[in-house]
Structure 1
């Protein structure tokens, strides 16, 4: 590649750690700032999401993340990229919903007699949004409201799920979220509830598709750049040709600029090309599904050598909590709570230096503080398997 700057892995890794608030926790930021910096926090496991966000902030505990989500409403829990549950900043919800609803649709693998038609999907989304404007509903309550509004066909038990059958309308839950008609509400006992984000975010309205997609690409590159169009396609579960065309269009508009990253053409936001002067250093403990672990590529650089065998699950990142040493995965860990005690087992893939052991002790204390317990560290083999 001629006349294109070259970015080496150590500088890219250091930049990503800084951008994610992992080089040093942010002092004057809140949970929404931390989530924006990582371009969305995975929240399919809420305890891990709380730890993931709080690790990036100075002095914050899991209670602070919960307060931001359920009281201050600066965070919204909803379906994000790849249809997975995420925490997103409320202030950015217009961008997220506009962009996610503008992504090319994933091919519906259900049988023709099961899948929703585009017209039925529109009906379900409208019914979901209308029903949830009245308050928080469990999935059963929402199902009754949707069939009342859309018709009995929406409640047909035809979707195979977990050994049983779900009603037809549930195929469109993530679509409803992407279009800004649904998000998660607070737990009702052990039951999940849903509500309409218009109730939580005053003045909310999804941003137009073109502007929203541009903003999402730029947010992604600020967090994970340099990155290729193919890596963005993997992150969003979209076709590679579509992502390649999108990045080419943004380059022609001067919104992104190319670099040579590990022999591949990758992109950064135009004008946002500065790299740290030193390679990454330090020890970090990241929980299940941490955005840094899931979103950073290439996998072989972040998970070098034995790390790929130990910390990936079928090539997928996030299923193990990981030990990061100097910007790379260098082990796995697990924590178990027993009353006020938090028992942490850390399995390094290589012996840690005395300095790294001291940093590990500091990380263990931080985890204990965030989880509001007394941590106890054991260095040894983690016997717990990958999280599904």
Structure 2
């Protein structure tokens, strides 16, 4: 395993926390378009926590879900949501501009929608997407598909709405000003330095191009943020590639160690230029939605099904496991089963086998 991959595993994967919101704060933001699997990304880093406990934390507003950084959902901490939006929402709006035009959304439509959403959600009136679709649709605004999705995303990026508590299996929206107590506006330079430092500390070693992908910030923004961060970051060149990282250190992991992560986990999705360091596979090989990591490197993927009492993990592997590696896989499956309050069952298959 390369030194870069080893250190990235320690900063992004092996760090343990006390509460779901602590994981979110550590990363700055955690990609979360698949809500259930995104919760597991938090649970993987919280020994002993259950899915029900993560859900209760979310419903209580201890961490939120909104569009920020890129045109996708992320978990963010309440105290971070406003300054993250100020830094990155203009860039996401610029990315979205062509879609806004394609679905017929302009300044007038957004202004009308904002007024309707404010009225519908005021006073803690948490509403589901379907309920809000009826509200905006009655005014002649898009109420289905991309039109509705980008209308609501615009309201999130403008800091008008964010996630509310779940209602059964449905997500709700809330007014941000009601969901999160007001906070003093941060100095823009301080916020930029914080985001750059937090990314390289929690994801590093990583490159500035990795951070450009993750944050949507420009190369000039990131260069300024690195300069502002100063000695909070360290720099090194490995195989001709320039890497940045924080000073966070954890103990070397035991080997073998298996992690069953989702494909949008920050350990995998937060990189572009240097994503290959944890993927010792041919370039044409895609990484599926659920990834099996062996000592921090992609070794296959996994599927899960469940019955009333049992979580069934099928591991699809690039090679056969040793007895010690099989035991590590069993331990990883047991962690996920306990998170879901189920008993584990594990089966393995090589990827070149039929099945």
| Fold match by TM threshold 0.5 | yes
2:3: which partner in 1?
A: 11
Structure 2 distance, partners of 1:261, 1:118, is 47
Aligned residues: 346
Structure 1 distance, partners of 2:88, 2:157, is 6
Which stretches in structure 1 are left out of the alignment for 5+ residues? 1-8, 313-318, 384-388
Equivalent pair of 2:318/2:351 in contact (CA under 8 Å): no
Asked whether 1:62 is paired with 2:51, we answer yes
Structure 1 distance, partners of 2:351, 2:307, is 17
2:95 match: secondary structure: coil
2:302: which partner in 1?
A: 333
2:19: which partner in 1?
A: 30
Structure 2 distance, partners of 1:147, 1:196, is 19
Structure 2 distance, partners of 1:115, 1:229, is 35
State the TM-score, normalized to the length of structure 2. Answer: 0.84
1:259: which partner in 2?
A: 236
2:67: which partner in 1?
A: 79
C-alpha RMSD of matched pairs (Å): 3.1
Asked whether 1:178 is paired with 2:157, we answer yes
Structure 2 distance, partners of 1:171, 1:348, is 39
Q: Post-superposition shift, 1:217? A: 1.9
Structure 2 distance, partners of 1:322, 1:85, is 20
Q: After the TM superposition, which residues 119-130 of structure 1 pair with which residues of structure 2 at under 5 Å, given as runs?
A: 120-122=109-111, 124-125=113-114, 127-130=116-119
Q: Post-superposition shift, 1:247? A: 2.3
Change beyond 3 A, Cα 1:225–1:247? same
Structure 2 distance, partners of 1:14, 1:113, is 44
Change beyond 3 A, Cα 1:213–1:130? farther
Structure 1 distance, partners of 2:145, 2:34, is 23
State the TM-score, normalized to the length of structure 1. Answer: 0.77
Change beyond 3 A, Cα 1:39–1:352? farther
Change beyond 3 A, Cα 1:111–1:369? closer
1:172 match: secondary structure: helix
**Could you tell me which of 351, 357, 361 is aligned with 2:320?**
351
1:142: which partner in 2?
A: 132
2:266: which partner in 1?
A: 291
Asked whether 1:97 is paired with 2:85, we answer yes
1:106 match: secondary structure: helix
